Amino acid sequence: MKKITVNTADAACPCKLSALAPEAVAALHTVEQATGAGNDFLGWVNLPSSISEAELADINATAESLRRDCEVVVAIGIGGSYLGAKAVIEALDNAFAAYLPAQAGAPKVLFAGQNIGEDYLAELSSFLADKKFGIIVISKSGTTTEPAIAFRILKEQLERQLGKAEASRRIVAITDEKRGALRTLATSEGYKTFIIPDNVGGRFSVLTPVGLLPIAVAGHDIKALVAGAVEMEELTRSTGEDNPCLQYAEARNALYRDGKKIEILVNYNPKLHFFGEWWKQLYGESEGKDGKGIFPAAVDFSTDLHSMGQWIQEGERTIFETVISVEESAHTTIIPSDNDNLDGLNYIAGKRVDQVNKMAELGTRLAHVDGGVPNIRISLPALEERWLGQLIYFFEKACGISGYMLGVNPFNQPGVEAYKKNMFALLAKPGYEAETEAIQARLK
């Protein structure tokens, strides 16, 4: 069976990796048997294989109705309620989709609520003024400030443009089954809703309706995406060295223990830029706690070889890289021959652009390994739904294993609350009176 593979030959010596194997297998058992910290957030472990045909059909039917009625669908959400859908859509869409005309039947999926940029919201709102649009509002808690602000503004605009009743038919809410302000609002306005399971944290939720609905609205095959994830779910139950999650978790923990505190996720395909953003959240929020954790960064090569390349090659030797290598491009573009050859490129005339890209990848790997940057390589056959489904589940499972090897609870995120408390105090949110007084005294 074709599948994604992990190569750790340039990461650490095999003896170091095999020394960590028993620990990695124990961490795998902790994930599979739900015996570790945060075990009430393991709903993602068997999620792919538990998604029914009926659930996929409901998501596809909802997507189809939004696609039919809308030129633009705005997915509102932040963090885990945003990054997974954004990553998959960017990976699968035409790179110039944003510049094609908006049309019902093939709507653009835009995002909001992932920032508090006033200009961003004003410009989105004016872009939508003459468009048929719909909204997917996603918030597990139903109370997150950024998406709540965006939803309030865009809901009001949609109701102004269409009337309340028709607007309600173009809004889909994805939230907790029972709790939260969004659930209350969705019930009172009669929105179509989907549930984010209690036991699936935001950053592990891309294979729930949180990711699947926007991905389906963008016209991509969620059945194939889930099928890929199911394949990886089955493959990664193995306790043998054929389990790619064990290979990755062992390699990154061996490197961390050797002083490599920063991991850069590298792609050689610009369509994977947001996959790097999704991965950063998954690993950063899962592992960065208790004074521990590999710092996750992401770069796009060869673009960033012309900005970050110097640091990576010769800066402080505290980094390692994990390269996502896509075996086959979707298109073929041949470099033409030129009679004058003023640019000196005739030596690669007749080659595919991807052949040059692959040599950039190989040359960079050799240079970085020589320069003291260990390299883990994850190969996937192509940028298609099935392989992305495999890749998503692979990273999720490896994250749980790796977090337990690090000795943290990979499924909480207590540190995220600190900025919110200060922001609410500064905005004098009801219930934060004491904090408001304290923060104002501090700022005098």
Active-site position among 64, 420, 433, 437: 420
| Amino acid making up residue 334 | I
- Chain residues binding ligand PA5 by CB under 6 A are 78-81, 139-141, 144, 147, 201-203, 285, 413
> What is the closest distance, in whole angstroms, from the C-beta atom of residue 114 to ligand PA5 in the complex?
9
* Cβ distance to ligand PA5 smaller for residue 364 or 413: 413
Count CB-CB contacts under 10 A for residue 143.
14
Distance CA 251, CA 21 (A): 10
* Cβ distance to ligand PA5 smaller for residue 201 or 374: 201
> Is residue 205 within 8 Å of residue 80, measured between CB atoms?
yes
Distance CA 342, CA 152 (A): 57
* Cβ distance to ligand PA5 smaller for residue 107 or 147: 147
Active-site position among 90, 250, 277, 285: 285
* Cβ distance to ligand PA5 smaller for residue 134 or 202: 202
Is 29 catalytic? The answer is no
- Token duo for residue 317: 């030797």
Is 351 catalytic? The answer is no
> Is residue 92 within 8 Å of residue 385, measured between CB atoms?
yes
Distance CA 96, CA 215 (A): 17
> What is the closest distance, in whole angstroms, from the C-beta atom of residue 348 to ligand PA5 in the complex?
44
* Cβ distance to ligand PA5 smaller for residue 41 or 268: 41
- Token duo for residue 250: 């062992």
> What is the closest distance, in whole angstroms, from the C-beta atom of residue 332 to ligand PA5 in the complex?
39
> What is the closest distance, in whole angstroms, from the C-beta atom of residue 141 to ligand PA5 in the complex?
3
> What is the closest distance, in whole angstroms, from the C-beta atom of residue 174 to ligand PA5 in the complex?
9
Is 16 catalytic? The answer is no
> Is residue 205 within 8 Å of residue 44, measured between CB atoms?
yes
The three-class DSSP label of residue 335 is coil
Question: β-pairing, 5-10 with 375-382?
Answer: antiparallel
Number of residues that this document lists for the chain: 444
- Which residues form the catalytic set? 285, 306, 420
